[in-house]
Amino acid sequence: MEPKVAVIGATGAVGDVFLRVAAERKFPMSELRLLATARSAGKQLTYAGRKIAVEETTEAAVAGADLVFCSATSEASRRWGPVVRAARHVMIDDGSAYRMEPNVPLVIPEVNGDDLDWHEGIVSIPNCTTTPLAMALHAMRRVAPLRRVVAATYQAVSGTGAAAVEELRSQLRAFGAGAEIPAPGVYPHQIALNVIPHVDSFEEDGFTKEEAKMRNETRKILHEPELRFAATCVRVPTMVGHAEAVHVEFEREAPLDALREALRAQPGLELMDDPARNLYPTPLNTADDDRAFVGRLRVDPSVDHGVVFWCVSDNLRKGAATNAIQIAEELIRRGKL
Ligand SMILES: NC(=O)c1ccc[n+]([C@@H]2O[C@H](COP(=O)([O-])OP(=O)(O)OC[C@H]3O[C@@H](n4cnc5c(N)ncnc54)[C@H](OP(=O)(O)O)[C@@H]3O)[C@@H](O)[C@H]2O)c1
């Protein structure tokens, strides 16, 4: 029996891509309800060529679905998670609300799909910067154990949602027309022609919540709670695709050839690394692709057993919608829905 599905946040940046990815993958469902706030009720969205009217998110709609995909806000996740659990159905949550809760698996199916076996009704997907990094680290630790990870990110505005995409568009339009650039609303500074070393809010230790999420989530997914980790998360004026420059130290020698082989063998990950042909992943040449990409792999001569690499993935696909659908597919495969 195919599941009845509800999507909370269907009108958002992730929701939009979710509908495309679900149609591409022909995700099995006997019913699809598209939910958002009252503001969007009645709006028509298209799924697999079929128009579906958006409804306000209600208890009846949420409790009536076997499988709920939530890509909305933390408040919405916290409001509807208990309803799904009480109905003994499953919610796959894109937000950060439940990611670090001990009874909630945080899953990238190609890395820790086995964690789905102990879910209690809610499964979280990782932050969109964590996903490609954890996939690359998981592949590489087959060669030698990880000792320390340092990452800097270059994150697209769609990671903040549909309003941020519109903010960059309107600033670029004004710049192109030689007009005054509109004041920022979503970000604390103008994002067009700028980079902002500030993603999510600051914590007491000087890191941002995004940087803490990357550290904590990577540790949880890899089951390495002591992994030494530091990140700087930066918002850049690209539309889609989060990139990262990553320095890794291993416990022992990790030859580049063996690392390349491990990266090539990692499902869901593509090695795109041919500097002689200017070939390495960028947000544009990897957009709309479900894989994570790694390139620019080289020895870091500043430490023992260190390498540096660059990774990129489409934050709305593998960073969000695709990973959520792959989790659902894996739950079905394991009989865990
Ligand atoms: N963007 C990414 O790359 C990315 C990646 C991984 C995870 N995520 C997570 O995915 C979630 C959605 O992100 P987004 O980028 O798609 O945001 P977005 O473009 O701002 O869209 C938010 C969506 O949530 C709906 N919504 C807001 N409050 C709601 C409520 N109380 N009840 C029901 N629906 C509500 C909105 O409906 P209305 O249109 O009616 O306002 C809209 O459909 C966030 O938790 C985010 O952290 C995003």
Is residue 283 located within the same domain as residue 327? Answer: no
C-beta of 263 in contact with ligand 1 (< 6 A): no
Ligand 1 pocket test target in 21, 43, 71, 327 with most atoms within 8 Å of CB: 71
Is pLDDT of 293 > 90? yes
Q: What is the pLDDT of residues 113-146, one digit of tens each?
A: 999 999 999 999 999 999 999 999 999 999 999 9
Residue 91 has pLDDT above 90, yes or no: yes
CATH code of 137's domain: 3.30.360.10
Q: Which of 17, 18, 62, 94 to mutate to test the pocket of ligand 1 (most atoms within 8 A of CB)?
A: 94
Ligand 1 atom having least distance to the Cα of 15: 16
Tell me which of 70, 128, 233, 311 is the catalytic residue: 128
Res 161: pLDDT: 95
Q: How far apart are CA 104 and CA 110, in angstroms?
A: 18
- Within 10 angstroms of residue 26's Cβ, the number of other Cβ atoms is 8
DSSP single-letter state for residue 45: E
What is the total count of domains within the chain? 2
pLDDT value at residue 146: 98
Per-residue pLDDT tens digits for 144-154: 999 999 999 99
pLDDT of amino acid 216: 98
- Sequence-distant (≥ 6) Cβ neighbours of residue 287 within 8 angstroms: 240, 241, 314
Tell me: do 64 and 101 sit in the same domain: yes
Do both 47 and 152 map to the same domain? no
Distance CA 196, CA 15 (A): 26
Q: Residue 28 and residue 140: Cα distance in Å, rounded?
A: 34
Average pLDDT of the residues of the chain: 98
* Ligand 1 mean position, distance from CA 196 (Å): 22
Q: H-helix or E-strand containing 249?
A: strand 242-250
Q: Are residues 183 and 141 in the same domain?
A: yes
DSSP SS3 for 67: strand
Pocket flag, ligand 1, residue 7 (CB < 6 Å): no
Query: How many other C-beta atoms are found inside a 10 Å radius of the C-beta of residue 147?
Result: 16
Do 148 and 111 share a structural domain?
no
Whether residues 170 and 308 share a domain: the answer is: yes
Encode pLDDT of 196-228 as tens digits: 999 999 999 999 999 999 999 999 999 999 999
The residues near 245 (Cβ < 8 Å, ≥ 6 apart) are: 151, 152, 154, 308, 309, 310
Do 11 and 102 lie in a common domain? yes
Distance 217 CA to ligand 1 centre (A): 20
Is 37's C-beta closer than 6 angstroms to any atom of ligand 1?
yes
d(CA 176, CA 170): 10
Q: Which residues contact 188 (CB under 8 A, 6 or more apart)?
A: 196, 198
pLDDT in tens, 11-30: 999 999 999 999 999 999 99
Residues in the chain, total? 337
Question: From the CA of 257, how far away is ligand 1's center (Å)?
Answer: 41
45 and 142 housed in the same domain: no
pLDDT class for 276, splitting at 50, 70, 90? very high
- Asked about 128 being catalytic, the answer comes back as yes
β-pair partners for 32: 5
Average pLDDT over residues 85-112: 97
Residue 1: what pLDDT? 85
Q: How far does residue 86's CA lie from ligand 1's centre (Å)?
A: 23
The CATH number for 111's domain is 3.40.50.720
The alpha carbon dihedral of 282, 296, 323, 104 has a sign of negative
Same domain for 158 and 297, yes or no, is yes
Same domain, 62 and 187: no
Under 8 Å CB-to-CB from 197, ≥6 apart: which residues?
A: 232, 233, 234
Ligand 1 centroid – CA 10 distance (Å): 8
In 3D space, the residue among 38, 123, 36, 122 whose CA is nearest the CA of residue 72 turns out to be 36
To the nearest 10 degrees (0 to 180), the angle between helices 256-265 and 130-140 is: 120
The residue range of the domain holding 64 is: 4-126+320-333
Nearest-angstrom CA–CA distance, 112 and 103: 15
Residues 134 and 122 in one domain: no
**Are 95 and 228 in a shared domain?**
no
Q: Fill in the DSSP letter of residue 196.
A: B
Does residue 8's CB lie within 6 angstroms of at least one atom of ligand 1?
A: yes
CB 269 within 8 A of CB 142: no
pLDDT value at position 331? 98
Cβ–ligand 1 distance for 105 under 6 Å, the answer no
Active site residue 242: yes
Question: Which residues are within 8 A (CB) of 57 and not within 5 positions of it... i.e. 6 or more apart?
Answer: 8, 35, 36, 37, 72, 76, 80
Residues 6 or more apart in contact with residue 274 via CB below 8 angstroms: 280
